Amino acid sequence: MDAAFNQAFFPSTFNELFSVWNRFPDAVLYAGGTDLLWKQGKNILQLPRIILCLDKLEELHRITRTEHYLEIGSMSKLSRIIHLGKIVPEALTLCLENIAGIQLRNLATIGGNICSNFRMLDASAPLTALDAQYELRNAHTSRWVSAFRFHGADEEAAIGSQELLTRIRLPLHQWDYCAFKKFYPEDIYSSKALVFLANVQKNILSDIRVVYKADAIYRNKNGDSILTGKYLPLSRKTADDYVDNWKEYMFHINEIDKFSKNELINCIEFNVYNLTE
């Protein structure tokens, strides 16, 4: 049967999903619909011609925990993840709590936030900082890619045509210092965010991950290495070096305006000086 008119399909197995997708290659995946219906205020909504609704695929709603990982199905609503409580890494919870209002969080899914076509959304920041892995699946096979590569410019890690995100795998790792800061620009739809994570072992900073999300993901690994291995509390000089390194890193990034750069540097200063005497 061909689709002469608009149609919505509700597959309940992956076989069904991929067979419909094969018949209608321009079909669009529909999760919570909040991004697909973004900025539509009229009575009649405009939807893609063929919709593949993921709601009946039970596996995509599953959340499981192993000794080392939390695995979250891509159809998990943002509010459900928040309500899982302490098992969810704090950076992710803080980020999700800052996304829109409760009504939207009850509809929007983590998969939709990660896969938005229009813009880089907030969950990409904590998921990159936490070293999350994404499972991508097509009709024949599945593969794991890191959040860092997925959200970066690595084309091999980008989602392919007729491929979907099925699971997010998060290492269950406790962070001794965790901060999440969201910057609200005039255009509320292009927020920026910073995640600052640090771990301490025997009074030494053993791991540091700082990720900035604007229209792309920025991770200044040289900066992180200035702090790694340093004793706490940090000396004033080390903190100054770190801030200077970020200033230098940001100086070369033309895509970010001066105001946002200043906002970011202030926030980095605040967090790194929290680790000094």
CB of 275 to ligand FAD, least distance (A): 28
- Find the binder of ligand FAD among 9, 11, 27, 29 (CB under 6 A): 29
Per rule CB under 6 A, is residue 158 in the interface with ligand FAD? no
Contact 134, 165 (CB under 8 A): yes
By the 10 Å C-beta count (0-12 exposed, 13-18 middle, 19+ buried), 38 is classed as exposed
CB 177 within 8 A of CB 275: yes
Task: Tell me which of 76, 93, 128, 191 binds ligand FAD, using CB under 6 A.
Answer: 191
Which are the contacts of 188, defined by CB distance < 8 A and separation ≥ 6?
none
Q: How many residues contact ligand FAD, by CB under 6 A?
A: 30
The token pair at 125 is 């920041």
Chain positions 129 to 148 lying near ligand FAD, rule: CB under 6 A, are none
Site string for ligand FAD, 49-88 (x = CB under 6 A): -----x-------------------x--------------
Minimum gap (Å) between residue 12 Cβ and ligand FAD: 15
Beta strands 133-137; 142-146: pairing state: antiparallel
Between 110 and 210, CB nearer to ligand FAD: 110
Minimum CB distance to ligand FAD, residue 253 (Å): 21
Distance CA 51, CA 49 (A): 7
Choose, by CB under 6 A, the member of 35, 94, 209, 272 that binds ligand FAD. 35
Using rule CB under 6 A, residue 245 touches ligand FAD = no
In whole angstroms, the minimum distance from the beta carbon of 245 to ligand FAD comes to 28
Task: Please report how close the Cβ of residue 63 comes to ligand FAD at its closest, in angstroms.
Answer: 14
164 makes contact with ligand FAD (CB under 6 A): yes
- Residue closer to ligand FAD by CB (options 263, 269) is 263
Q: Please tell me whether the peptide bond between 233 and the residue prior to it is cis, using omega within 30 degrees of 0.
A: yes
Give me the torsion for CA of 85, 90, 91, 93, rounded to 10°.
Answer: 20
30 interacts with ligand FAD by CB under 6 A = yes
Cβ–Cβ under 8 Å, residues 142 and 155: no
Measured at CB, which residue is nearest to ligand FAD? Answer: 112
Q: Could you give the CA distance from residue 277 to residue 273 in angstroms, rounded to a whole number?
A: 8
**Contact yes or no for 145/134 (Cβ under 8 A):** yes
For the window 90-119, what string marks contact with ligand FAD as x by the rule CB under 6 A? ---------xx---x--xxx-xxx-xxx--
Spatial neighbors of 6 by CB under 8 A, at least 6 apart, are: 47, 49, 50, 51
Contact 205, 199 (CB under 8 A): yes
* Residue 165 within binding range of ligand FAD, rule CB under 6 A: yes
| DSSP category for residue 197 | E
Residues in touch with ligand FAD (CB under 6 A): 28-36, 38, 54, 74, 99-100, 104, 107-109, 111-113, 115-117, 121-122, 159, 164-165, 191
